[in-house]
Amino acid sequence: MQVNSPPAQSTPLILDSLMNPAIPDDACPRRTMQQIDLILLAIEALDLGGSEAILAVADELELQGIIKNRVVLWRLRSTNPLRRFNQRRPMTLTEAKALVVIGCNLARRLTVLIRQLLLAYQQLSEKQLSFEHHFRLYDYLERFRSHFRARMNPKRTAVTAYSSDEKLNELAIQLLGQLLFCTGTAGMQRFWVSLFDGEVA
């Protein structure tokens, strides 16, 4: 008696917790691709080994079939329309889910640090002190600005809006808030849905 092998799993089970928004051609909107890349950029500014950590978590969560190596990761992140070297092909929902799962997993590991930096920002703002008074926050903001300027296309209108240190600091703090949001109850699912707000009819 011949026993048929079970059909191959089309997508990793961990991605099933994220709903499929009704978007055409399984292609993520521009804003979705942009936000995912920026969240990962913030993680890289928080963690010196951020890019390596992304690949390591992909292996841990058995997502290496989607994010096979550093080149694939670079290509996926380069779907962000703000990038200097923008890949014109869209990011699929499966690819976006994989990056969101990885990003939220890393955010949870960095929860204590994220909370510390947001608290420091609040305290410095209330006392009207510069960010130099908190080394770890200052270091994060400096690295984020450096990453953003090195990787984004300065000719894009959306990028020129962040031409000053102040605007980039604001973006970096906003992304910290989003990362903290990802660590909460059902944070990953809520963050995923937020990426498509206004994009789904």
The model's pLDDT over 164-184, given as tens digits with 9 standing for 90+, comes to 999 999 999 999 999 999 998
Pairwise CA distance, residues 51 & 23, whole Å: 29
Q: Calculate what percentage of the chain has a pLDDT beyond 70.
A: 93
12 occurs within a structural domain: no
Q: Which domain holds residue 187?
A: 27-193
3 occurs within a structural domain: no
22 occurs within a structural domain: no
16 occurs within a structural domain: no
101 occurs within a structural domain: yes
By the 8 A CB rule, do 187 and 193 touch?
A: no
109 occurs within a structural domain: yes
178 occurs within a structural domain: yes
Specify the number of domains making up the chain.
1
Confidence (pLDDT) at 10: 59
Residues in Cβ contact with 200 at an 8 Å cutoff, skipping those fewer than 6 apart: 21, 22, 23
pLDDT 10s digits, 66-121: 999 999 999 999 999 999 988 778 899 999 999 999 999 999 999 999 999 999 99
Q: Specify the higher pLDDT residue, 113 or 2.
A: 113
Confidence (pLDDT) at 35: 96
168 occurs within a structural domain: yes
Average pLDDT, the chain: 89
Kindly write down the DSSP assignment for every residue of 43-85, as one continuous string. Answer: HHHH-TTHHHHHHHHHHHTT-TTTS-SHHHHHHHHTTSTTBTT
